[in-house]
């Protein structure tokens, strides 16, 4: 029956069912934001859509007809995302969420991984701060154990071709060589504010001095001994650290975080000549390459923080969303360990990392 009220306020037809096509970026940290792409994602009348990932309610920060932005709450794990609108649920779409590996750490650069899949991360501390355990080992089953004690401000980590872990101390300007049982010995001194470190395929070690120098330490004539030390390249000083990574061709890539949102990633050739590989990131830090020579870096891209992939054509894409990231290392089976300022996280990325020396 038609009434005066129905003529004045006609009922709305049933809301079209929202449909989800894809999610960007590839994965997210707890607290990160993802964009859901599809159709019928906008508010219906005054009703704003809401989302869930698994059994966790997830806030919708913005919704338009073809895109909605969803925050990934703390405690979320990988699961199906569903968008709910006016009592109607969308199709499910799988979302990858990083899970904690180890907490109460203080990484300031990339973690490192050994041949057995164990991951190593620092408790770096503030400058001059002594901590009981400087480097922890996180085993494949996420069990954590102390590995190196009483190293002042352990900063950069890298495994050498000899299978030993090497660590820089930014307080001492020293690089230490660490045996598989955690015993450390001095490998090189006088490295300034020694931060990021990386080996090339010939076994030479490169060290980033935060005040603006890249040192090259030639491989010694005997196992465990360093050779000649000289200045390889000079860059602008960084407010935090230098982070180093080699691609397959042997080019050294360097980031040095600044306050700029238009930061450069430097590429240094074998003769020590530096050029700008990519410009346009905010606070770019730790880096890693995959087997296809795509570069992954902890940075901000167009205001979004996380892990950014830069391909060989210098196209940049956010692949993991999340705050406070300082570095990463690729693991087996396409997974990665992500380092924040106080923890390590594990995430499936379906990326095969470049095999390190």
pLDDT at 42 over 70: yes
When pLDDT is cut at 50, 70 and 90, the band that residue 2 belongs to is very low
User: Residue 311, Cβ neighbours under 10 Å: how many?
Assistant: 13
Q: How far is residue 226's CA from residue 160's CA, in Å, rounded to a whole number?
A: 12
> What is the average pLDDT across 173-199?
97
Q: How far is residue 123's CA from residue 169's CA, in Å, rounded to a whole number?
A: 12
pLDDT at 11 over 50: no
| pLDDT tens for each residue of 220-245 | 888 888 999 999 999 999 998 999 99
pLDDT for residue 221: 84
The DSSP secondary structure of 76-141, one letter per residue, reads: --SEEEEEEETTEE---EEEEE-EEEEES-B--S--EE-TTS-EEEEB--STT---SEEEEEE-TT
Q: How far apart are the first and last CA of the chain?
A: 80
Using CA atoms of 136, 137, 141, 142 in order, give the dihedral in degrees to the nearest 10.
20
H or E, element range at 195? strand 194-199
When pLDDT is cut at 50, 70 and 90, the band that residue 9 belongs to is very low
pLDDT at 41 over 90: yes
Q: How far is residue 36's CA from residue 65's CA, in Å, rounded to a whole number?
A: 11
Do the strands 88-89 and 226-234 form a parallel or antiparallel pair, or are they unpaired?
A: unpaired
Say if residue 196 is exposed, middle or buried (CB neighbours under 10 Å; 0-12, 13-18, 19+). buried
CATH numeric code, 100-348: 2.130.10.10
Reported as half-sphere exposure (CB side, CA atoms, 13 A), residue 294 has a value of: 17
Using CA atoms of 161, 164, 165, 170 in order, give the dihedral in degrees to the nearest 10.
-90
pLDDT at 6 over 60: no
pLDDT for residue 237: 93
DSSP character for 290? B
CATH numeric code, 19-97: 2.60.40.10
Residue ranges per structural domain of the chain:
19-97, 100-348
Higher-scoring residue by pLDDT: 356, 112:
112
Percent of the chain scoring above 90 in pLDDT: 87
Q: How far is residue 260's CA from residue 240's CA, in Å, rounded to a whole number?
A: 13
pLDDT for residue 330: 98
Q: How far is residue 20's CA from residue 68's CA, in Å, rounded to a whole number?
A: 10
Q: How far is residue 39's CA from residue 41's CA, in Å, rounded to a whole number?
A: 5
pLDDT for residue 31: 96
Residues 6+ apart with CB under 8 A from 60: 48, 49, 50, 51, 68, 69, 70, 83
pLDDT for residue 13: 53
pLDDT for residue 10: 41
User: Residue 229, Cβ neighbours under 10 Å: how many?
Assistant: 16
Residues 6+ apart with CB under 8 A from 267: 251, 252, 253, 254, 274, 275, 276, 277
Q: How far is residue 7's CA from residue 20's CA, in Å, rounded to a whole number?
A: 35
| pLDDT tens for each residue of 270-315 | 999 999 999 999 999 999 999 999 999 999 999 999 999 999 899 9
pLDDT at 81 over 50: yes
């Amino acid at each position: 029956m038609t009434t005066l009220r129905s003529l004045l306020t006609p009922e709305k037809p049933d809301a079209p069912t929202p449909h989800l096509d894809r999610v960007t970026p590839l994965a997210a940290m707890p607290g990160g934001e993802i964009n859901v792409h599809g159709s019928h994602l906008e508010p219906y009348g005054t009703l704003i859509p809401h989302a869930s990932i698994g059994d966790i309610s997830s806030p919708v920060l913005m919704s338009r007809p073809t895109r909605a932005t969803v925050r990934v709450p703390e405690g979320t794990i990988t699961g199906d995302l569903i968008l709910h609108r006016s009592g109607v649920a969308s199709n499910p779409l799988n979302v990858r969420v990083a899970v904690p590996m180890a907490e109460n750490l203080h990484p300031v650069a990339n973690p490192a991984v050994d041949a057995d899949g164990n991951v190593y991360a620092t408790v770096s501390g503030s400058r001059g701060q002594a901590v009981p355990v400087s480097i922890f080992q996180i085993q494949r089953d996420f069990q954590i154990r102390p590995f190196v004690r009483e190293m002042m401000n352990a900063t950069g980590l890298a495994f050498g071709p000899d299978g030993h872990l090497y660590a820089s101390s930014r307080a001492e300007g020293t690089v230490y060589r660490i045996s598989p049982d955690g015993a450390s010995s001095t490998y090189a001194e006088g490295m300034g504010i020694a931060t990021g470190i990386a080996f090339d395929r010939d076994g030479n070690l490169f060290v980033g001095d935060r005040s603006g120098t890249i040192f090259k330490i030639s491989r010694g004539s005997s196992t465990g001994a360093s050779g000649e030390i000289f200045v390889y390249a000079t860059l602008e000083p960084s407010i935090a650290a230098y982070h180093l990574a080699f691609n397959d061709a042997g080019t050294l890539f360097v980031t040095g975080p600044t306050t700029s949102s238009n930061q450069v990633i430097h590429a240094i050739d074998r003769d020590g000549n530096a050029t700008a590989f990519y410009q346009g990131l905010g606070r770019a830090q730790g880096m890693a390459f995959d087997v296809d020579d795509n570069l992954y870096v902890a940075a901000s891209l167009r205001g979004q923080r996380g892990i950014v992939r830069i391909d060989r054509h210098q196209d940049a894409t956010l692949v993991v969303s999340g705050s406070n990231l300082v570095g990463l290392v690729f693991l087996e089976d396409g997974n990665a360990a992500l380092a924040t300022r106080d923890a390590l996280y594990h995430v499936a990325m379906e990326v095969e990392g470049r095999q390190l020396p």
